[in-house]
């Protein structure tokens, strides 16, 4: 080969190398652009659920990752409670978007994976070590990247990426972007939890610790929508302490507050996971019982009533106060579910309230079920004040 041919071949080779470098540079630039876009969306996530959906779904789709999972420490079930409060119960579409999320009662499953909280762990997929993190994806994974999530020097969870490409997450690969992502996700999770705590504080009754009326009105519309969609039963209990004014008049309002706190605790102790209790106002409480047929709902109401009447309350001053409660029970009429959820929810509460009035008028300390045909629009405030 003459010198001109050698020079042409060398130039061709250099052009190929240059084009390869340019493609890699454009790819990296595009990757960085997508990363920054996702970063901004993570920081701007409006709720815990939105943040988790971004991580588990959009990050996977944006970067072509075969499997993304997330494990979070949830010792006190705070995160699970926040997610349940945000999403309609039994909403399969909502739950599917959070596939890949595992809430841990302890760090035991993940704490041995990370020797250094500041650096991700990359390498080939290990069946024994990594299967608990990823489940059984199809096709099988070949390489993984495990990102430790930490706040204030303590592990709070881990984010896991899996690829069918054995070279995607090699041990020698650079981890700068992954380290940055782990730091951002950790901060966003911490901020989301704090934000939800503040939001929940606005939806809780400060005295008793149960939900307040504002939360109940929001939740009741969700439960009505779910009951209508899936055609399941929904019961509402309206509870009012009997002769509560006597407690305040005889022992003072501090004693009355103690009684309300303990009554709220007794009510909660008789409910199932997924039921909702709220303080409606004064000495009134309301309860939502999803997927509870009428007899089951009545049994729960009777358990609450008996638990309260069988437990005379000891006040801080040593006084023993007998307490009883009247309860109205109403069922959502599954045959008449047309209309807005807000209107149906209000009708349900009105019917439980009407049944409560009947329980008061009938002698108190009893459970009364509402009539099957509601009379809408009737004002109960005047007659209830009379009893």
- Per residue in 247-264, pLDDT (tens digit) is 999 999 999 999 999 999
Q: Where are the domains of the chain?
A: 44-201, 213-386
Q: For 279-318, how does the pLDDT look when each residue is reduced to its tens digit (9 = 90+)?
A: 999 999 999 999 999 999 999 999 999 999 998 888 878 8
Range 362-369 average pLDDT: 96
* CATH architecture entry for 44-201: 2-Layer Sandwich (3.30)
As a whole number of angstroms, the distance between CA 55 and CA 276 comes to 30
Centroid of chain to Cα 219: 13
Q: What is the pTM of this model?
A: 0.56
CATH superfamily of 213-386: Reverse transcriptase/Diguanylate cyclase domain (3.30.70.270)
Find all residues with CB under 8 Å of 192, minimum gap 6, and list them.
45, 47, 48, 51
User: Comparing 7-21, 35-49, 57-71, 165-179, which segment has the lowest mean pLDDT?
Assistant: 7-21
Q: Which long-range contacts (CB under 8 A, 24 or more apart) does 36-41 make?
A: 37/62, 38/62, 39/181, 39/184
The residue annotated as part of the active site, out of 196, 223, 283, 351, is 283
Instruction: Say whether 179 is catalytic.
Output: no
Q: Which residue has the tokens 């920054």?
A: 36
């Amino acid at each position: 080969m003459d010198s001109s041919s050698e020079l042409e071949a060398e130039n061709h080779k250099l052009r190929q190398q240059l084009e390869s470098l340019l493609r890699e540079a454009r790819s990296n630039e595009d990757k960085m652009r997508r990363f920054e876009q996702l970063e901004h969306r993570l920081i701007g996530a409006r709720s815990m659920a939105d943040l988790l959906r971004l991580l588990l779904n959009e990050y996977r789709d944006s970067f072509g990752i075969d499997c993304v999972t997330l494990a979070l420490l949830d010792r006190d079930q705070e995160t699970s409670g926040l997610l349940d409060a945000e999403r309609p119960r039994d909403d399969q579409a909502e739950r599917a978007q959070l596939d890949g999320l595992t809430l841990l009662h302890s760090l035991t499953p993940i704490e041995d994976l990370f020797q250094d909280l500041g650096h991700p762990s990359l390498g080939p997929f290990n069946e024994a070590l990594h299967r608990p993190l990823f489940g059984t994806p199809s096709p099988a994974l070949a390489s993984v990247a495990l990102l430790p999530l930490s706040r204030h020097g303590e592990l709070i969870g881990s984010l896991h990426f899996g690829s069918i490409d054995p070279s995607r997450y090699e041990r020698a690969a650079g981890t700068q972007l992954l380290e940055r992502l782990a730091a951002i996700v950790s901060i966003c999770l911490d901020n989301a939890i704090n934000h939800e705590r503040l939001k929940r504080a606005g939806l809780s009754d400060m005295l008793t610790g149960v939900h307040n009326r504002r939360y109940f009105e929001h939740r009741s519309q969700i439960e009505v929508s779910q009951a209508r969609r899936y055609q399941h039963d929904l019961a509402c209990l309206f509870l009012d302490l009997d002769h509560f004014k006597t407690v305040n008049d005889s022992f003072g309002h501090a004693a009355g507050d103690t009684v309300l706190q303990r009554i709220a605790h007794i009510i909660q102790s008789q409910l199932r996971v997924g039921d909702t209790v709220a303080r409606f106002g004064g000495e009134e409480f309301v309860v939502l019982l999803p997927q509870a047929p009428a007899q089951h709902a009545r049994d729960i109401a009777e358990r609450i009533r008996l638990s309260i009447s069988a437990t005379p309350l000891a006040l801080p001053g040593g006084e023993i106060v007998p307490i009883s409660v009247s309860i109205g029970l109403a069922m959502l009429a599954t045959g008449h579910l047309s209309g807005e959820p807000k209107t149906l929810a209000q009708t349900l509460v009105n019917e439980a309230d009407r049944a409560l009035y009947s329980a008061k008028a009938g002698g108190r300390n009893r459970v009364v079920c509402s009539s099957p045909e509601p009379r809408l629009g009737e004002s109960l405030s005047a007659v209830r004040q009379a009893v």
